[in-house]
Structure formats: structure tokens, C-alpha cells
Amino acid sequence: MKITDLLKKQSICLDGKADSKEQVIREMVDLMAEGGNINDIDTYRETVFKREEEGTTGIGEGIAIPHGKTEAVSAPGLAAMVLPEGVDYDSLDGEPVYLIFLIAAPNTEDNVHLEVLSRLSMLLMDEDFRNKLLHAKDVDEFLAYVDAAEKEKFPEEAEEKAEAPADASAKPYQILAVTACPTGIAHTYMAAEGLEKKAKEMGVTIKVETNGSGGAKNVLTPEEIAACDCIIIAADKDVAMARFDGKPLISTKVSDGINKAQELIERALSGNAPVYHSKGGATEEGGASADGDTIGRKIYKSLMNGVSHMLPFVIGGGILIALSFLVDGANAGTAAFGSGTPLAKFFNTVGNTAFGMMFPILAGYIAMAIGDRPALMPGIVGGLLAKAGTSVFLAEDAWISSGFFGALIAGFAAGYLMIGLKKLFDKLPKTLEGTKPVLLYPFFGILIMAAFMIFIVNPPVGAFNTWLNNVLSGMGESSKMLLGAVLAGMMSIDFGGPFNKAAYVFGTASIASGQFDIMASVMIGGMVPPIAIALATTFFKNRFTKSEQQTSITNYIMGLSFITEGAIPFAASDPLRIIPPCIVGSAIAGALSMMFGCGSRAPHGGIFVIGIIDNPLMFLIALVVGAVVAMAGIVLLKKPLKAE
């Protein structure tokens, strides 16, 4: 593995300054993170320090090669720093260190760090090579010296490469892609499958990295990125972008990976894709601005970044809270319901702790999508203050919480606040650079966000929340049925898109205010489309192709699990005959759920949480009615296919 393949420009510093070994390692880890190889910077930093405790990596001759092997590393990488004034590194020869290389290796069996460590050590034994690196005028010259030294030291590699026979399987991928959706459940993998399937039909080689709920899979390597022709980012949430610096890149919605795969691939091969330029942030994430995202699109992606990080807390915590009521049935109707037994109290305490993180996590990750990592802290603080509320005129007995809407405002405010603070503090002397992340950003971020939330946001938004809860609580049966129909219908407009997510987030927020009937309507609205399509493909096969008929079981499972995205392939191929019936069926199911008084304390789970849904039998009846109505509409609109 060549040094030049692992060493990126943004991970090289030629004028480093540090007063201690600890400081220089921290700065080296930050440099490594700028290369996009780290998925958990704190864990990686701890690994490097732990390795250092086992014995110094200052090998003498003014050189140090610290390294860390951990699952926090997504792909092998190198960072380099030249310290003109040197630093006391506790080296084996007792001399200061002037040249440092940091190695990042994933936790795999191939021990890539040992290979790189050996290769570096061999190169750095040459005093002339070390002097060239120490006196390089710029990063390009530094890399050129490394490349020349490698070619001279390992000439057999160039010969083997030249003599190697052409092997189609060894050719670099023409296109690389990354797919990601807010929930990381369905759209992410459907977009990946769409791109891979279409590329195979077109005879194009492609590799797709999926940023799903279980983390990044099939991660793109630095070598693959360097060799590919173009990169496609089909994402509705932020992904690591710094690694794509200088490459042609297309940024688009995740749904385009499903519906417009051929168009994206053709554009990627055309040579007209804009070149992406990294802003150089250590943890730069985003959907890339190569395509010139509109303001609305940027706001949506920032919001979805918050939602995607919030959902695991909401779903896991919400289901645990619901389980506490299920196991504590003996205390139903009493004040102790949900915590009347030890097991129920355990579920309730843990669930409420996780569920209570909804607002700070939402605000924090919205802020981070806008203002990078420094904005995470004021965003989280703003979300906590939105949850805690504001005492009217600071009186102790009249607290008003701004809740979900306050957390939204806090997230966006914290993100743009940090952008402003960065611009303001850029005017400070360079000697104060190190104080920004550890002193200036935290202090002013917390101070300004606290004043903003307590005195400006919480009072009016808290009053609005109180009014909204009173309105919802005071709604008559007909009004609630209309609300249930609207929210459930929204779940079927775009099957996981903005309308669907807006309704779902409103439903999860309603759980926090005790409006469990709203969540039940939202859930049932999302379950109807896949089940309706499954029923149609089961009982009216003559209206669907052979491949469509084979999805019946999958759609039954997805529908019963409350995964609306199972309807996407059908909606994409025939939207006018699929979407309207699904909207009608979902709306009817949502209205019936409201009318029957169904309620869900669990924000997800579908049929698998039926035991903790209020009026479960009527919920199932409403689901069946909605699915049958949607199926009937689909069947009436779709004509039988012509026999071949």
C-alpha cells in the first residue's frame, strides 16, 4: 500500500507548532479527521494515546510515527506534520521531534498499520529524504518527495504494475456512489440497488457505499476514490465529503438513485459533472454543493440530519416506555401506571431517559449540519433549554417549554450562530487559534444560545405549544377524524419523503405531549400502502408483471413493520395509479383510527407493538379497511396486462 495513496493534501501541515507531545498528537488526529477516514474522532484519539502509553513512537532522528488501529477508522489513512521548532516527544534518543507521520488503520485482520509503519520506517532512514520533507515549500512538493522516494526504494512495484496482464476484475470502478436517507432503513438500500442494477445493465462498473441505520457499509477506499471517473451522492442527509476533494461529483436526492439511476450514470460518464472542492473542515459533512443546492434543499437536508440522529432515541425510548405500560397492566388507571412494578419502572426510567434526548439530539445535529462540529454543543444546549423551558419573568413557579418547535429553532439558530462566531474569531491573532474550540466557541456558544432560548424563543413558542395542546385536547370527534385523515394521508404522498417525514415527526412529538391517538393515525397511514400493494399483487396478478408479483411477501412484511418505502418501486413506475388510491386508503384508515380511539405510545413497530396499542382490535380493523380501499382503487385504475 503506497504512502502517496494514503496521504491527502488536507492531512498535511508544514508549519506545525506544539508545546507538548499530547498537544501535537491531538493536532495530528484533527489533521487525520480532515482526510475523512475517521468515523469517531474521540475513539480514534483514545486509541492513539493508549498505544503511546505502551511505549513511545518517537523512533529517534527527529521522527515520530504514532498510530491507532480501531473500528473508528473507516479507511486506512496517513497524516503528516513538520514542526520547524520541534517538540519534546519523549523519543528513544531523547531528542526533539521535527517530523511526524500518524497512521490510521481499520480494525481488520490484515494489520495495514504494520505494513505502512514498516514502509515509512524504511523510507525515513534516508537522511537526505528527511531533510527534503523538512524543507518542502508546499504540500505538493512534500508529496512529490514522498512519491519519488517510494519509486526509488520500491522499483519492483512499478515493474509489476507494467507487466501485470489486463484483468477486468482489477480495473478501478468507473463510478462510485454514496446513498443515505434520514432513517437509513429503506431508501438508502433501494437507491443503492437501483444504481447497481442500472449500471450492470449499461456495462458500467460501480461501487456504492450505504450510510444506513447500522452505519456505513461497503465504504469507499482512498484508492478507489482516486481512480474513479465520477462520484454520485444520492443522499437526503449529510455524508462525509472531504474525501472527495478534487473529484467530479454529482449531488442529488436519494429518491433520484431509485427513480433516475440511468440519468445519473449517463451524466457521470459524460464528463460534465462539476468538480467538488472541500472546504477543509476536519469533520466536513454534507451533500456537496456541486449542484448548487437551493436554500430550501439545504434547510431540508439540515433538518433531516437532525431527524435521522433523533429517530433511534425516539423509537427505542418510545417502545420501552410503551412496554412499561404493557407489563404494568395491574395499575392501569392509577397515577403509578407504568412504574407500579420494578420491571415496569425499569422500562419506564430507561425509556424516558432515551426519549428525553429527542430534543437535544435533534437540535444538535441540525446545528452540526450547518456549522460543523463546533455547532453541535450549542445546538444540544439549545435543545435541552427548549425541553427544560423558561420561567416567566424568571419566576420559579411558571415554566414554559418550547418543546419540539423550540428545538427546531435552536438547531438552526445554533448552526448559523457558529458560522457567525467562526467569521468573527477569524480576525483574532493566530496565537489564539487553539483557544477557539476549547474556550471561545463553547463559552460564547452556550452564553448566546442560553439568552436566545430563555428570553426570546421559549416564551412565545411555549405559549404556542400550550395553545396547540389545548386545541388538540379540545377537538371534537369530527375534527380529530379530519386531523387523523390528513396526517395519515401525508404518509402516502411521497412514501418516506418530506411530507411523510413531516407527518411522522409531528406524530412522534405528539407522544411527548400525551397525544397518543395522533401517533396511531400516523403509523396506520404508513402501513397501508405496502399492504395494499401486496394485496393487489396477490389477488389481481393479471395487472402486474412477474417481477412485481414476486414482491408480495416483502410488501406484507414491510407494511406490517411500518416501513412505507415498500411502495416506492410501484409508485415510481406508475404514480398516477398507485399514489392517489394509497392516499385515500391511508386517510380513511387514519380517520377510523381516530374515531375508534386508538392510541400508540410506541413511535414505530407496526403490528409488532400491537399489544401496547390502545384498542388494538379496532386498530387492526381500521388497517384492513384502509388497505382494502387502497387495493380497490389500484385495481380499478390499473388495467390487466396484455398476455404475451
DSSP 8-class letter at 37:
-
Q: What is the largest CA-CA distance in the chain?
A: 85
Q: Which residues contact 282 (CB under 8 A, 6 or more apart)?
A: 30, 31, 33, 34, 41, 372, 373
* Cβ-count burial 105-131 (b if 16+ within 10 Å, e if not): bbeeeeebbeebbebbeebbeeeebbe
Rounded to the nearest angstrom, the gap between the alpha carbon of residue 175 and the centroid of all alpha carbons in its chain is 22
Catalytic, 230? Answer no
Residues β-bridged to residue 394: none
Catalytic residue among 13, 113, 181, 309: 181
Distance CA 517, CA 600 (A): 6
Position 261, amino acid: A
> How large is the angle between the packed helices 403-425 and 376-388, nearest 10 degrees?
150
Nearest to 481 by CA among 588, 373, 325: 588
Q: Which residues contact 285 (CB under 8 A, 6 or more apart)?
A: 238, 239, 240, 241, 305, 368, 369, 372
Catalytic, 181? Answer yes
- Residue in this structure with the C-alpha cell 393487489, named with its chain if needed: 536
Distance CA 244, CA 220 (A): 10
> How large is the angle between the packed helices 403-425 and 458-473, nearest 10 degrees?
160
Catalytic residue among 13, 67, 187, 309: 67
46 C-beta neighbours (distance < 10 Å), count:
15
Helices (H), 287-371: 295-327, 342-355, 358-371
Active-site annotation, residues: 67, 181
